[in-house]
Copies of this chain bind each other. A is one copy, B any other.
């Protein structure tokens, strides 16, 4: 089969690799129907996060189960499934507490599993899925192909935006500020709106992203940054600050923007992989909390899936560029240069 490799910083290729097969009784093999490129894939792509050359890449996919091991009970060949961006057993103490991202027997796509056997990356034609019962979530019946983008968004960005909103304590009537207008930030807007936020302020300087933000429920857009951005947020909130802030970038600047936009006692829900520092003194003085991290998407999948299938939730529009898998390199370049919010790939 063909799969995407990260050969070196800013060099991805589609290469022929061995076909995956069931190797443990808890495995499944999934034929990928659609996968995508994540903002967090750009860190290794840009060389900011170091990776061994030739590593498999991609951690978001939906597809159809082709084969299952003897111990797999929750999915069967032919099932359409959504995969969260990590795999997990669903039974360990951390999975049971809803933090499948800390699964004692789980791991990430594109790396060896606990037995040292490669687990395929998502940006390929097929994936061996370890711990299939704990990991995959099937749809009750084959979904309308038009829903594929929305379902694919559940594998990471929508669940991550939802995690940020829950971590920040968004609820009915909240005033929310979302820092970051990437796919996750935009899904954070959608999630906040879905949770009943009355006012959702998106910090964004990019017209197409502002428009999508408004479509997802943003009531206000603030293009200013730094001191001016904070001033605008304070103006919009009667000098008080936001009840909840979603930080969806991960730099020191965005973190500071988030903390200074929060009202005293509020929480910043952060889901941008942190490549910066938290402004601890400002947080301490105003009792602004910081909560979040790598989103336990698996926990949220059943609930969000139900809404998508019922036509009540559509994060699909975060994909503004669709390419065949053999143009994966163009997809990375488009996201790297911010020409695309998020790229969907079809094998």
Contact = CB atoms under 8 A, between A and B. Distances in A.
B294 A102 contact: no
Contacts of A240: 93-94
Interface in A232-279: 240, 263-265, 267, 270, 273-274, 276-278
Interface string A287-311: 1111111101000000000000000
**Interface size, A (range):** 20 to 34
A206 interface: no
Nearest to A95: B264
A287 B101 contact: yes
Interface in A288-336: 288-294, 296
Nearest to A252: B280
A286 interface: yes
A283 B277 CA distance: 12
A102 B278 contact: no
B287 A294 contact: yes
A92 B296 CA distance: 38
B278 A273 contact: no
A98 interface: yes
Contacts of A276: 280
B289 A294 contact: no
Contacts of A294: 284-285, 287
7 contacts: A93-B240, A102-B286, A267-B289, A277-B278, A287-B296, A289-B291, A289-B292
Given A102-B264, A274-B284, A285-B294, 13 more contacts: A94-B240, A94-B265, A97-B265, A98-B265, A99-B287, A101-B287, A277-B280, A278-B290, A283-B290, A284-B292, A285-B293, A287-B296, A289-B292
